[in-house]
Structure 1
């Protein structure tokens, strides 16, 4: 009982800013708030078994910028700790882990973004920038076809008869390579902030399992996430699976088609029973189901479980993924019709906008979270800082 009272006094001191454990300097307001909350959680530890954030937290006594960024990206925003917390709003301590972590995650996308200016631009105008890129790319290609008088009308030979293969490669290769480079630089910067050493085979295998199974979207007790209230549901986990595997199937379809073209000498269009078509159709449908479900859940999500300022960016990314999948399926249905050229322009505009914004928005959070999970599987196999006497 005395220990509990001591922990409560410590938590109250931290909440009121009286304790001087947290190194506030060099932290933003959002980062300092996460540091404050983690100190309170470290004194309480009621949620220790909920997810990887809390056991990783207990290996630390202080929380610097790198620790806060790492733990924020390790958080899956399942909401379980918010509804279980005795210090959650309207309590005076106002402990809200999901919302505070979400704010810092957005900061990491900016801090580690490359080039940094684009990260700042997307943070401030994510939805507007995404829609502007879709309209800009679509308009560019539409005007090109209109100038040639080929914007509307039946086409023989598929979409390569509209835009030659080499032209499409010339348009998309720089955008894809730039996105891959920018994501690579950003994740590298994030990884170097807190070195944990190389992964063992066991650590890598565990991280891959946790990523592919979305382990930490189970609410800590296996019942699922909290979304609109304190009821548990597996909906977020399932719709995330539909979205993730749908995207991967679409990417696989493009990869197989590339192999067909360059190594087998088989040019598009491919038949409905071909591997690229089967992968693309199943991926497109899965992506539409996943993003549609996530959009509905986002509309219903409890305000305390999210950063309300990020909703336009979140919904913009979901909409961009949905439009990419939907226009891809429409492109397949428009084969041989007069609407094929215009449909192709819209689809290509969505795809280019998606890849151009990948390093700076919600897509980046998946990559950063994978890196954080790998860090955790490495770290949990090592002596903690407390065991090493680094306190």
Structure 2
């Protein structure tokens, strides 16, 4: 015990400030204790290191799912003088990850400005612009068009606008993820690593609190609510994406053009996805408002809530458009929905969505790394 306390005090003295230094200090204490080694991937990955570089800290921070289990189990958590709070320290480093690996690099500052007001103002501004375009053309209120969106905005125009915005988001996130991967190479790809990483991603393995009972939110009580709301959000998003892909296939390959019947595959997928993107983000916002401040970085809450709000608004306006697509207000609803979608696409590379990309990369790194020999154990042997 005395050795652990000496190590902790030495680490405090060596810390030079900054989120990475503070997280490294806490990791060194955890590396001496190792009580939480079975909780999630962060701690076994930690045991493969004696010290922690900047790249190591970014890697470990993005492995952390912020479930809160280690904070509630830790004997050195505040108000102890060691002040070990891994969920909060890792959340702060993740924010630096997004900014440091952003492309273009100058846009990294947008992560700190992407708050709720900015996101909603962007969505409302774009929607208002489209509404004004329709009003200037006398199309704001019209005779029912049988759900034909392309009678309001031409198909090729929508493809060009939203394809460019989505393409930019994909490019920026792909370059950021590539930079993140190169920052810490886990070694050669081993058989089974990608498959296990995919399983971890699709099942949210590390949101089980290390024991299967779930996360700690505002208290010591375990709950699976956060894992379930994340699943609804993720799979809702993927169903909406699948709906768009199927509709594209119908249009360009099968020569079947919108509008599609309520029983068609694109509409069914979009409706189910939209419901998921209503319930999931609403639940995540509810948890975000209730969660104890020690469980994360308070400065990131505006960015978190901005992404949640845009997902919710996109889904709500999309379902409303589907419900009233055969009425005279269809064009107005379409303009509002497209404004929300465009705002979501434009902020994807510089908002909370980035955490999904970097976390997937970190999980793949871990599944590659854990299949490599542990050099520390080999040295001890």
Q: Following TM superposition, by how much is the alpha carbon of 1:198 offset from its aligned partner in structure 2, in angstroms?
A: 3.8
- Which of 321, 324, 330 aligns to 1:331? It is 321
**Distance (whole Å) between structure 1 residues aligned to residue 50 and residue 180 of structure 2:** 21
- CA pair 117-88 structure 1, distance change in 2 beyond 3 A: same
- Which of 71, 83, 87 aligns to 1:98? It is 87
1:251 aligns with 2:241: yes
Q: Following TM superposition, by how much is the alpha carbon of 1:370 offset from its aligned partner in structure 2, in angstroms?
A: 0.4
Q: Following TM superposition, by how much is the alpha carbon of 1:195 offset from its aligned partner in structure 2, in angstroms?
A: 1.1
- Which of 35, 48, 61 aligns to 1:72? It is 61
- Moved beyond 6 Å, runs of 4+: none
Q: Following TM superposition, by how much is the alpha carbon of 1:384 offset from its aligned partner in structure 2, in angstroms?
A: 2.3
**Distance (whole Å) between structure 2 residues aligned to residue 324 and residue 201 of structure 1:** 39
Match of 2:199 in 1: 209
Match of 2:28 in 1: 39
Q: Following TM superposition, by how much is the alpha carbon of 1:135 offset from its aligned partner in structure 2, in angstroms?
A: 2.0
Match of 1:363 in 2: 353
Q: Following TM superposition, by how much is the alpha carbon of 1:52 offset from its aligned partner in structure 2, in angstroms?
A: 0.2
Match of 1:262 in 2: 252
**Distance (whole Å) between structure 1 residues aligned to residue 35 and residue 330 of structure 2:** 58
Q: How does 1:1-391 map to 2 (within 5 A)?
A: 4-15=1-12, 17=13, 20=14, 29-157=18-146, 158-387=148-377
TM-score by length of 2: 0.96
**Distance (whole Å) between structure 2 residues aligned to residue 245 and residue 153 of structure 1:** 35
- CA pair 147-198 structure 1, distance change in 2 beyond 3 A: farther
**How many residues are treated as equivalent by the alignment?**
379
Structure 1: gaps spanning 5 or more residues: none
**Distance (whole Å) between structure 1 residues aligned to residue 375 and residue 70 of structure 2:** 25
Offset from partner CA, 1:238-292 (integer Å, 9 cap, x none) = 0000000000000000000000000000011101110000000001001111111
Structure 2: gaps spanning 5 or more residues: none
Q: Is the 8 A contact 1:113 1:186 kept in 2?
A: yes
Q: Is the 8 A contact 2:114 2:306 kept in 1?
A: no
**Distance (whole Å) between structure 1 residues aligned to residue 342 and residue 360 of structure 2:** 24
**Distance (whole Å) between structure 2 residues aligned to residue 136 and residue 265 of structure 1:** 35
TM-score by length of 1: 0.94
**Distance (whole Å) between structure 1 residues aligned to residue 324 and residue 137 of structure 2:** 20
Q: Following TM superposition, by how much is the alpha carbon of 1:389 offset from its aligned partner in structure 2, in angstroms?
A: 5.0
- CA pair 249-304 structure 1, distance change in 2 beyond 3 A: same
Q: Following TM superposition, by how much is the alpha carbon of 1:386 offset from its aligned partner in structure 2, in angstroms?
A: 1.8
Q: Following TM superposition, by how much is the alpha carbon of 1:125 offset from its aligned partner in structure 2, in angstroms?
A: 3.9
**Distance (whole Å) between structure 2 residues aligned to residue 342 and residue 122 of structure 1:** 31
**Distance (whole Å) between structure 2 residues aligned to residue 125 and residue 273 of structure 1:** 38
Q: Is the 8 A contact 1:122 1:129 kept in 2?
A: no
Q: Is the 8 A contact 2:114 2:351 kept in 1?
A: no
- CA pair 8-122 structure 1, distance change in 2 beyond 3 A: closer
**Distance (whole Å) between structure 1 residues aligned to residue 172 and residue 379 of structure 2:** 38
Q: Is the 8 A contact 1:249 1:282 kept in 2?
A: yes
Q: Is the 8 A contact 1:155 1:161 kept in 2?
A: no
Q: Following TM superposition, by how much is the alpha carbon of 1:11 offset from its aligned partner in structure 2, in angstroms?
A: 1.9
Q: Is the 8 A contact 2:98 2:111 kept in 1?
A: no
**Distance (whole Å) between structure 1 residues aligned to residue 93 and residue 243 of structure 2:** 35
